[in-house]
Amino acid sequence: MAWLLDLDGVVWLGGHAIAGAPEAVARLRAAGERVVFVTNFSMTRVAEHEERLAAIGIPATGDVVSSATAAADLVEPGESVLVVGGPGVVEEVGKRGARVVTDTDAGADVVVVGLTFDFDYAVLRKASAAVRAGARLVGTNDDATYPTGEGLLPGAGALLAAVAVASGTAATVAGKPNQPMADAVLALVGPGPHTMVGDRPDTDGLFAQRLGARFALVLSGVTTAAQLPVLPTPDLMAADLGALVAAELA
């Protein structure tokens, strides 16, 4: 059994550790629990996630699964891939043995869309043209927004929707709560029963259901007490990860 922790809204928010989260991870590990971090945020390279976690006192080498990894798993080695996304997606597609292309005049087998700040009409035009010409459309995740210290910003789902609409094609989505992400997580931790801790019922809660895991909702992210009750119904609920782990290990 493993503890699968979402990052944004569970471990950190706007780049700052949520109080008590590093200590909670240490307590779980001291109790012999496997802890893995499961994030839909694809822009950052996995090694950078690991460094950021280490910087707040959480060693995490080899313990991070991002939606970029799950998206890259939908690409075959040797394929040419137009990446509309950040360094995290470029790296994972490269690791998979596929070729990242920027000029699609020669055609692309796959278009992978993730979160990037370099998105404009020219990018949308190129990506949708590649899909219309036959490329498969893959999204890292379809979150409409993601939480930052400056409030909610447009997420990968907003960019993916633009490409999908412009190309007239529905995307295959890799990240939580979808099966490719479940496959990537289970490849790392093996069969459950696991506990999925998250702040979003529509991604983390549904992902827990897909894994057959317990869903632990924490109120330290996008879901507030005023929004309760939520579906799917959490198996566990706490103000934050620290309180959750204190109650579970008591």
Residue 116 CB, shortest distance to Mg ion, in Å, is: 19
Active site (annotated) includes residue 204: no
Task: State how far the Cα of 48 lies from the Cα of 250, in Å rounded to an integer.
Answer: 33
Nearer to Mg ion, 8 or 91 (CB): 8
Active site (annotated) includes residue 240: no
Which residue type is seen at 47? A
Cβ neighbours of residue 44 closer than 8 Å, sequence gap 6 or more: 52, 66, 86, 87, 88
Residue 66 CB, shortest distance to Mg ion, in Å, is: 13
248 lines the binding site for Mg ion (CB under 5 A): no
Residue 8 DSSP one-character state: B
Catalytic residue among 6, 143, 199, 240: 6
How is 185-229 classified by DSSP, letter by letter? HHHHH-S---EEEES-IIIIIHHHHHHT-EEEEESSSS--GGG-S
Print the binding letters for residues 9-48 with Mg ion: x by CB under 5 A, - otherwise: x---------------------------------------
The Cβ-side half-sphere exposure at 111, using a 13 Å CA radius, reads: 28
Residue 81 CB, shortest distance to Mg ion, in Å, is: 27
Contact 217, 195 (CB under 8 A): no
Nearest to residue 46, comparing CAs of 23, 21, 67?
67
The length of the chain is 250
Interaction with Mg ion in 210-229: which residues (CB under 5 A)? 221
Task: Tell me how many residues contact Mg ion (CB under 5 A).
Answer: 5
Nearer to Mg ion, 68 or 90 (CB): 68
Binds Mg ion (CB under 5 A): choice among 5, 8, 63, 175:
8
Binds Mg ion (CB under 5 A): choice among 3, 4, 5, 6:
6
Active site residues: 6, 8
Residues that bind Mg ion (CB under 5 A): 6, 8-9, 199, 221
